[in-house]
Amino acid sequence: KAGVTQTPRYLIKTRGQQVTLSCSPISGHRSVSWYQQTPGQGLQFLFEYFSETQRNKGNFPGRFSGRQFSNSRSEMNVSTLELGDSALYLCASSLRTGNSGELFFGEGSRLTVL
Amino acid sequence: EDQVTQSPEALRLQEGESSSLNCSYTVSGLRGLFWYRQDPGKGPEFLFTLYSAGEEKEKERLKATLTKKESFLHITAPKPEDSATYLCAVQRSNSGYALNFGKGTSLLVTP
């Protein structure tokens, strides 16, 4: 069974540019969450999508946005990049049933902003 | 505001030397507490879910316990392959499936 796939794995951008990251969840998983991981702040929740609808949103500025498609694949976009946006962006999928917080993470997209 | 604090930040053990990692939390309406393991260059890997005080879960050399204020991850007779960062996360009852993570404990087990 294929795991969560994130593309691209690495990318370098300059301040002011925008970036789009992609996530393909495990087959059958309809929930996709995004997290930002930095050495200083650790893992921070960005947003969660289920059945193409944003269900929860973390405390991030409006420059961070996402969407989910009918096949459960998800994208997140960061506009007007800042140096502080350099981070590992992790996507996680889950069945979203009951109380389970069992998330299956991808290997992440490492973004460097110069 | 929810808070998840993990200690120690880093821990070095000799192979076979048992120890415990701590996760202290403050959350209104805990739905669940989770432990994940993260290897360098990889995404976190799910280990355990604990739902109520007094609950315990075991997997190989790992045992997770939960009280009303903290959780412990006990590592018995660790091996070098247990070296990783261990992350604790809480899920609030009214926050959907969003997890609030601690900053992790980096564990190094030497032969």
Is it the case that residue A69 has pLDDT exceeding 80? Answer: yes
Is it the case that residue A21 has pLDDT exceeding 80? Answer: yes
Residue with tokens 């969407």: A67
CA pseudo-torsion sign B103, B60, B68, B34: positive
CA distance B98 to A85: 20
Q: Rounded mean pLDDT of A12-28? A: 97
Is it the case that residue A30 has pLDDT exceeding 60? Answer: yes
CA distance A92 to A73: 11
pLDDT at B48: 93
Q: How close are the terminal C-alpha atoms of chain B, in Å?
A: 41
**Nearest of B45, B1, B2, B44 to residue B23 by alpha carbon:** B2
DSSP assignment of chain B: --EEEEE-SEEEEETT--EEEEEEEE-SSEEEEEEEEE-TTS--EEEEEE-STT-EEEETTEEEEE-SSEEEEEE-S--GGG-EEEEEEEEETTSTT--EE---EEEEEE-
CA distance A23 to A5: 6
Structure tokens of B1? Answer: 């505001």
> What is the chain A residue with the closest CA to B47?
A102
Residues with pLDDT less than 70, chain B: none
Inter-chain residue contact B51 with A99, CB threshold 8 Å: yes
Q: Rounded mean pLDDT of A46-54? A: 93
Q: What is the pLDDT of residues A70-113, one digit of tens each?
A: 999 999 999 999 999 999 999 999 987 655 668 999 999 999 99
Q: Which residues of A touch B43 (CB under 8 A)?
A: 4, 90, 92, 105-108
Q: What is the pLDDT of residues B31-57, one digit of tens each?
A: 899 999 999 989 999 999 999 999 999
Inter-chain residue contact B99 with A45, CB threshold 8 Å: yes
Is it the case that residue A36 has pLDDT exceeding 60? Answer: yes
pLDDT at B92: 87
